[in-house]
Amino acid sequence: MSRPELIAPPEIYYGDVEATKYTNNTRIQQIQADMTYRALELLNLPPDEPAFLLDIGCGSGLSGEILDEEGYTWVGVDVAPSMLEVALEREVEGDLFLQDIGQGFGFRPGSFDGAISISVLQWLLNAETSHPTSSPPHRLTRFFTTLHSALRNPSRAILQFYPTSDDQIQLITSIAQKAGFGGGVVVDYPNSKKARKVFLCLFVGGGGSQVPKGLDGEEVEAGEDQAKFESRREKSGKRGKDGKRKSIKDRDWILRKKELYRQRGKESIPRDSKYTGRKRKTVF
């Protein structure tokens, strides 16, 4: 799995090129959409009640678009200006903010009915400078405490992220707990390498609500709209119909090379004859 968070900080990694690439990639779109629907499901909002949500790390608005479709009013924050520019071009409905979530939010207490975040938290786990406010624990603490106060009581925050180790999950959950959140980690498809997804389910004043169960069992079969892996094309070409490899260096190739060397003035090039490039007898 690629780890862009180890390459550069998000506002630099997601420059103009990477932001467009990210948004136009249908595979990323599909994964983001699936995770957003799953996060909304875990958010467990009361039906038929319009909610006001916070999308943390909204990026180019891939998840925001789904929130629009579902009829939610939302506010998105992201630290990468290029991503927000793409979001503006895509005309999403939510209000966008250029904000570093590690610096904390300035929203008044009880502002939001819930928060979602898709593939973001791992970006908080790297220190960019040696300043004390840049250390991951400090940034996480700031993020979780201000998020906790910005949420209504009771409500939930669902944060999907890609941890590299159990230590990271431990660090994140312990800081979230200190900030006052209840809840825990939900792992979908724990036995699949590809479909495994980690969701941090945080409750504000949950009052004994249970952490939802992760999805289990087989990964959903790839639908017809998704491309399936095909091995057919790789096979053809290398081998002929009889199953033997076709030689690349046939007579034509040898003649062409010899002509080339002659043109370049290389010495002692054997002359062309009927024996040039002739197949040898098989010798046991």
Binding site for another protein (CB under 8 A): 49-50, 52, 71, 73, 75, 77, 79, 81, 84-85, 88, 93-100, 103-108, 110-111, 129, 131, 133-134, 142, 146
By beta-carbon proximity to another protein, the closer residue of 132 and 243 is 132
Q: For tokens 């900030």, what's the residue?
A: 179
By beta-carbon proximity to another protein, the closer residue of 12 and 220 is 12
> Is 187 within 8 Å of 198 (Cβ atoms)?
yes
Q: Who contacts 20 (Cβ-Cβ below 8 Å, separation ≥6)?
A: 86
Minimum CB separation of residue 20 from another protein in Å reads: 17
Burial 221-234 (b: 16+ CB within 10 A, else e): eeeeeeeeeeeeee
Minimum CB separation of residue 139 from another protein in Å reads: 9
Helix or strand or coil: residue 252? helix
Minimum CB separation of residue 112 from another protein in Å reads: 8
By beta-carbon proximity to another protein, the closer residue of 13 and 107 is 107
By beta-carbon proximity to another protein, the closer residue of 142 and 156 is 142
Minimum CB separation of residue 15 from another protein in Å reads: 17
By beta-carbon proximity to another protein, the closer residue of 35 and 96 is 96
Q: Which of 127, 175, 158 is nearest to 5 (CA)?
A: 127
By beta-carbon proximity to another protein, the closer residue of 30 and 135 is 135
Q: Which residues, listed in sequence order, are joined to residue 17 by a DSSP beta bridge?
A: none
Q: Who contacts 173 (Cβ-Cβ below 8 Å, separation ≥6)?
A: 184, 185, 200
Cα(96)–Cα(93) distance, integer angstroms: 9
Q: Which residues, listed in sequence order, are joined to residue 245 by a DSSP beta bridge?
A: 239
Minimum CB separation of residue 134 from another protein in Å reads: 8
Minimum CB separation of residue 39 from another protein in Å reads: 21
